[in-house]
């Protein structure tokens, strides 16, 4: 038996991907289904998983059943800016995990995670071959042309003679 060397493996070719400053950054969002809700967090409050310590900022919350006053509120929460999640499988929080809100605010154990929760990534990504780094900022080719065309035209001292205009 021969130990495999570098030449025995197929090289992985392809582009790396990144975002364009004008197309916008990648957005990470989390949709949590919750139950046992006893208080409603306000938009902007940071929610923390009692055991995972994962966090997210409330962007939207919708009650779908039960009542907070009865401690059995059921609903859906959308969180922004998630932290602490698994980078590889994008899992965040755990089923039946208690959720803590700030005090003042929703407070400790204001609801319980119901089901598996994942981090959703959205936003346009470009292959390196379509990105141009200029002044330390990355642009997709289309936005690069759009952003700097005017500057280049001004610098080129446009010839406005009759001949140039086809007369």
The residue at minimum Cβ distance from Zn ion is 20
CB of 125 to Zn ion, least distance (A): 10
Nearest to 89 by CA among 117, 126, 53, 127: 117
SS3 48: strand
Size of the site for Zn ion (CB under 5 A): 5
Residue holding tokens 């582009």? Answer: 15
23 binds Zn ion (CB under 5 A): yes
CB of 120 to Zn ion, least distance (A): 21
CB of 11 to Zn ion, least distance (A): 29
Name which of 22 and 90 has its Cβ closer to Zn ion: 22
CA distance 142 to 151: 15
Nearest to 95 by CA among 156, 131, 49: 49
Name which of 60 and 146 has its Cβ closer to Zn ion: 146
Give the chain's end-to-end CA distance (angstroms, integer).
80
CB of 139 to Zn ion, least distance (A): 6
Structure tokens of 154?
A: 């001004």
Residues 6+ apart with CB under 8 A from 15: 127, 128, 129
CB of 144 to Zn ion, least distance (A): 8
Spell out, one character per residue from 122 to 161, where the chain touches Zn ion: x when CB under 5 A holds, - when not: ------------------x--x------------------
Nearest to 21 by CA among 125, 121, 139: 139
Choose the binding region for Zn ion from 18-26, 54-62, 63-71, 150-158 (rule: CB under 5 A).
18-26
Name which of 107 and 124 has its Cβ closer to Zn ion: 124
Q: Is 14 left (phi over 0), alpha (psi -120 to 50) or beta?
A: left
Binding site for Zn ion (CB under 5 A): 20, 22-23, 140, 143
């Amino acid at each position: 038996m021969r130990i495999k060397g570098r030449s025995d493996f197929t090289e992985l070719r392809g582009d790396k991907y990144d975002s364009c400053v004008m197309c916008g950054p990648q957005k990470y969002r989390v949709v949590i289904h919750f139950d046992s809700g006893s208080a409603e967090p306000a938009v902007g409050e940071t929610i923390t998983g009692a055991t995972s310590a994962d966090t997210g900022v409330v962007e939207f919350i919708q009650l779908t059943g039960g009542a907070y006053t009865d401690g059995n509120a059921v609903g859906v929460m959308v969180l922004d800016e998630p932290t602490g999640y698994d980078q590889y499988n994008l899992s965040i929080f755990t089923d039946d995990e208690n959720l803590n809100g700030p005090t003042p605010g929703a407070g400790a154990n204001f609801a319980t995670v119901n089901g598996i929760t994942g981090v959703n990534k959205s936003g346009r990504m470009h292959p390196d071959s379509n990105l141009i780094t200029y002044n330390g900022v990355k642009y997709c080719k289309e936005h690069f042309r759009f952003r700097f065309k005017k500057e280049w035209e001004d610098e080129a001292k446009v010839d406005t003679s009759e001949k140039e205009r086809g007369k």
